[in-house]
Amino acid sequence: MSDVKFLVVDDSLTMRRIVVNTLKTLSYTGVLEAVDGKDAMAKLMSEGADFLITDWNMPEMNGLELTKWVRSSEQFADLPILMVTTRGNKEDVIDAMKMRVNNYIVKPFTAQGLKEKIDAILKSVEGKPA
C-alpha cells in the first residue's frame, strides 16, 4: 500500500506541506508536488502518479479543470482523485462529483479525515491495476 505514488496539487506551499507530511505519517513515501493544474499535467506526463490530491482554487488551471483533463485523458482516465478545498457548499460538491472526482474533503481537515478519504478511495479502486 505504501508504494502508491501521490501527486499533491495546491498553490499554497503551506497546504502542500500539510498534505505531504500527513501522507508521510501514513507511510506513503512516493509524493510529488505541483503548484497548479498546468504544473500537475506536466508532472503526470513526465513522472506519472497513482493518486491525485488536488486543491480546487488555483491560478493558471484550477482543480476542476485539471480533473476534467485527467478524466478525458486515455492514459489517466482512471486515476483516483481526491479534491481538497475550502469550497464546501452543496453545489460545489455536486460539480466536483459530476467531474468524477473519487472523493472530496473540505479544508481544514484532520490527518485522520484525510486518511479515511484516501483509504476509502484506494479500497474502491482495488482490483484495478495501479
Q: What is the pLDDT of residue 130?
A: 47
Q: What is the pLDDT of residues 14-28, one digit of tens each?
A: 999 999 999 999 999
Cell numbers found for residue 104: 472530496
Q: What is the pLDDT of residue 127?
A: 60
Residue pair 115/23 in contact by the 8 Å Cβ criterion: no
Residue pair 63/34 in contact by the 8 Å Cβ criterion: no
The DSSP annotation for 82-126 comes to EEEES--SHHHHHHHHHTT-SEEEESS--HHHHHHHHHHHHHHHT
Q: What is the pLDDT of residues 39-72, one digit of tens each?
A: 999 999 999 999 999 999 999 999 999 999 999 9
CATH 3.40.50.300 is the classification of domain 5-124 = no
Residue 128 confidence (pLDDT) above 70: no
Q: What residue ranges do the domains of the chain occupy?
A: 5-124
Residue 2 — pLDDT band, cuts 50, 70, 90? Answer: low
Residue pair 96/56 in contact by the 8 Å Cβ criterion: yes
Residue 13 — pLDDT band, cuts 50, 70, 90? Answer: very high
What angle, rounded to 10 degrees, do the helices at 63-72 and 37-47 form?
30
Q: What is the pLDDT of residues 70-126, one digit of tens each?
A: 999 999 999 999 999 898 899 998 999 999 999 999 999 999 999 999 999 999 987
Residue pair 60/36 in contact by the 8 Å Cβ criterion: yes
